């Protein structure tokens, strides 16, 4: 497995990480726990060293799963988790944002227990809390770093102004945000700032929540608790309108003897050497397929051809429900 370094942080990870959220939440029924633990350990044996979770995935259950899966190989892996929501510890009910310093520190302690570790490698603020100055948030994480409980600070879904302010207090190792052939906006404002500041980029949903695999079309149905049921971009009408994007990755895949998913991931990887996507899956064969993207080279001609065709394909539908976009700042 090839590796990459997240910006100037010195944090070296596998070129492709594993997003673990879908093992416990968001995409319908959670996976069988034993099977998911086996999948995470298979990823380690395949060379993956970067695993992404959060307290709200489940909530709590995903951190516990990841912690159990990685405990035997803790010294070989990098674990990223997140704080920033208020979550009732008894019921798991989420009640808004909460990045007050005392809460950040309490979440860290709870995450350490669930992850079965004495240090969090990368601790992201999950969503920016407008009620708490980012300087105070960065200061709280700096305290955790000084105590040896956190190694690196990250931000998820933050704007460039917030990133600059946080970075001035405590170096930000990585920023996480959605990025894929289906959502390319970060190229305009976010990526130039990250390059300027030497911050790594960790794209989530690099496969467009499954759309870019070519396995979803206007006839696809989703389970009642699958978040895509509420996403405008996943209505049958939008899926049909956006089919040209899938046709593009399929055409490149055929020429490259690859799969559409591998092409979509290779396109993200080709943006910059400090970008590490974290596609998620609950299936071993999909994990193995995704890892094949690391060795798929899209040359300058391939990328130029894709850019020219992308310019002719209008994307239909919002990428998240309006309420989520408003609340999260994404």
Region of residue 26 (phi > 0: left; psi between -120 and 50: alpha; otherwise: beta): left
For residues 86 and 93, what is the distance between their CA atoms, to the nearest angstrom?
A: 8
Pairing of the two strands 200-204 and 3-5: unpaired
For residues 319 and 282, what is the distance between their CA atoms, to the nearest angstrom?
A: 22
Dmax over Cα atoms in the chain, in whole Å? 55
* Catalytic pick among 57, 83, 153, 274: 57
- Strand (E) or helix (H) holding 120: strand 120-125
Tokens of 202: 């960790």
Nearest Cα neighbor of 143 from 104, 200, 183, 114 is: 104
Q: Which of 266-269's residues contact partners 24+ apart within 8 Å by CB, and which partners? A: 266/293, 266/296, 266/297, 266/298, 267/181, 267/298, 267/303, 267/306, 268/179, 268/180, 268/181, 268/203, 268/206, 269/15, 269/16, 269/293, 269/294
51 neighbors 66 (Cβ within 8 angstroms): yes
57 flagged as catalytic = yes
| Active centre residues (catalytic) | 57
């Amino acid at each position: 497995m090839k590796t990459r370094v997240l910006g100037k942080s010195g944090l070296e990870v596998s070129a492709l990480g594993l997003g673990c959220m879908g093992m416990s939440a968001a995409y319908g029924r959670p996976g069988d726990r034993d099977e998911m633990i086996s999948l995470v350990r298979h990823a380690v044996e395949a060379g993956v060293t970067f695993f992404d979770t959060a307290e709200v995935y489940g909530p709590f259950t995903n951190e516990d799963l990841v912690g159990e899966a990685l405990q035997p190989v803790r010294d070989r892996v990098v674990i990223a988790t997140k704080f920033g929501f208020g979550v009732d510890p008894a019921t798991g009910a989420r009640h808004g944002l909460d990045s007050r310093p005392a809460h950040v520190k309490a979440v860290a302690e709870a995450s350490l227990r669930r992850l079965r570790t004495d240090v969090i490698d990368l601790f992201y603020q999950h969503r920016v809390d407008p009620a708490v100055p980012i300087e105070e948030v960065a200061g709280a994480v700096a305290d955790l770093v000084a105590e040896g409980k956190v190694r690196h600070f990250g931000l998820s879904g933050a704007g460039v102004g917030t990133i600059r302010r946080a970075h001035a207090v405590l170096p930000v190792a990585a920023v996480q945000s959605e990025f894929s052939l289906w959502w390319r906006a970060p190229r305009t404002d976010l990526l130039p700032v990250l390059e300027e500041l030497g911050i790594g980029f960790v794209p989530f949903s690099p496969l467009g929540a499954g759309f870019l695999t070519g396995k979803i079309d206007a006839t696809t149905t989703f389970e009642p608790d699958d978040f895509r049921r509420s996403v405008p971009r996943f209505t049958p009408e939008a899926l049909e309108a956006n089919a040209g994007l899938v046709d593009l990755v399929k055409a490149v895949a055929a020429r490259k003897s690859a799969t559409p998913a591998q092409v979509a991931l290779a396109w993200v990887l080709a943006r910059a050497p400090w970008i590490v996507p974290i596609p998620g899956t609950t299936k071993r064969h999909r994990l193995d397929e995704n890892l094949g993207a690391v060795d798929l080279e899209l040359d300058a001609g391939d990328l130029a051809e894709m850019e020219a065709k992308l310019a002719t394909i209008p994307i239909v539908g919002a990428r998240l429900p309006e309420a989520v976009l408003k609340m999260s700042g994404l």
